[in-house]
Amino acid sequence: MAFSAFQLRFVQLLLVVLGVAFILFQLPSTHKETAPTQEVWGDPGDNFDDIRNETLGVQKVFAINLASRPDKRDNIVLGSSVSNFHVEWIDGVTPDEIDNKSYPYNWNHDQKRTEYAARRAHVNGLQRIVQERLTSAIIMEDDADWDVSLKLQLQSFAHAVRALQSQDTQKIPTQSPYGDDWDILWLGHCGLSCKTDLPFYLTPNDPTIPMPRHFRPLWRDSPIFEGHERPDHSRLVCTASDGVCSMFYAVSYRGAQRILAALSVNPSGLAEEINIGAQFDISLGRMCGNGYLRCFAPFPSITGGFRQAGSKAKSSDINDETGEQAGFSSSGVMYSTMLNINRILKGERTVHATWDDVDVLDVIPGDITMKQGAIYGI
Ligand SMILES: *[C@@H]1O[C@H](CO)[C@@H](O)[C@H](O)[C@H]1NC(C)=O
Ligand SMILES: *[C@@H]1O[C@H](CO)[C@@H](O)[C@H](O)[C@H]1NC(C)=O
pLDDT on residue 330:
86
User: Phi/psi at 240 (nearest 5 deg)?
Assistant: -80, 140
Q: Which of 94, 99, 100 to mutate to test the pocket of ligand 2 (most atoms within 8 A of CB)?
A: 100
DSSP 269: H
What's the whole-number average pLDDT of the chain? 86
Is residue 212 a part of any domain in this protein?
A: yes
Is residue 262 a part of any domain in this protein?
A: yes
Q: How confident is the model at residue 223 (pLDDT cuts 50, 70, 90)?
A: very low
Nearest C-alpha to atom 3 of ligand 2 is from which residue? 100
Among 104-113, 217-226, 252-261, name the most confident range: 252-261
Q: How far separated are the first and last CA of the chain, in Å rounded?
A: 37
User: Phi/psi at 43 (nearest 5 deg)?
Assistant: -100, 155
Residues 230, 275: Cα–Cα separation, whole Å:
32
Nearest C-alpha to atom 7 of ligand 1 is from which residue? 59
Q: Which residues of 33-52 are buried (b: 16+ CB within 10 A; e: fewer)?
A: eeebeeebbbeeebbbbbbb
Ligand 2 geometric centre to CA of 100 (Å): 6
Is residue 24 a part of any domain in this protein?
A: no
Q: What is the phi-psi region of residue 160: left when phi exceeds 0, alpha when psi lies from -120 to 50, beta otherwise?
A: alpha
How many alpha carbons lie under 13 Å from residue 321 in its C-beta half-sphere? 22
Closest by Cα among 351, 312, 346 to 329: 312
Is residue 226 a part of any domain in this protein?
A: yes
Q: Is the CB of 55 under 6 A from ligand 1?
A: yes
Q: Is the CB of 88 under 6 A from ligand 1?
A: no
- The ligand 2 atom nearest the CA atom of 109: 5
Q: Is the CB of 283 under 6 A from ligand 1?
A: no
> Which helix (H) or strand (E) element contains residue 123?
helix 113-131
Is residue 75 a part of any domain in this protein?
A: yes
Which CATH number fits the domain that encloses residue 262? 3.90.550
Nearest C-alpha to atom 9 of ligand 2 is from which residue? 100
pLDDT on residue 281:
95
pLDDT one-digit tens code per residue, 90-145: 999 999 999 999 999 999 999 999 999 999 999 999 999 999 999 999 999 999 99
pLDDT one-digit tens code per residue, 271-312: 788 888 999 999 999 999 999 999 999 999 999 999 888 877
Is residue 264 a part of any domain in this protein?
A: yes
Q: How confident is the model at residue 17 (pLDDT cuts 50, 70, 90)?
A: low
Give the domain range for residue 190: 48-306+369-376
Q: Is the CB of 177 under 6 A from ligand 1?
A: yes
Residues 53, 47: Cα–Cα separation, whole Å:
11
More confident residue, 359 or 185: 185
Is residue 82 a part of any domain in this protein?
A: yes
Tally of structural domains, the chain: 1
Is residue 266 a part of any domain in this protein?
A: yes
Residues with CB under 6 A from ligand 2: 100, 109
More confident residue, 181 or 221: 181
Q: How confident is the model at residue 22 (pLDDT cuts 50, 70, 90)?
A: low
Among 94-98, 208-212, 267-271, name the most confident range: 94-98
Ligand 1 geometric centre to CA of 169 (Å): 21
Residues 60, 56: Cα–Cα separation, whole Å:
8
Query: Residues near 151 by Cβ (< 8 Å), separated by ≥ 6?
Result: 51, 52, 56, 83, 84, 85
* Complete DSSP assignment for 288-345: HHTTSS-EEEEES-S-EEEE-SEEGGGS-SSS-----EE--EEES-SSBTTTTHHHHH
Residues 105, 94: Cα–Cα separation, whole Å:
19
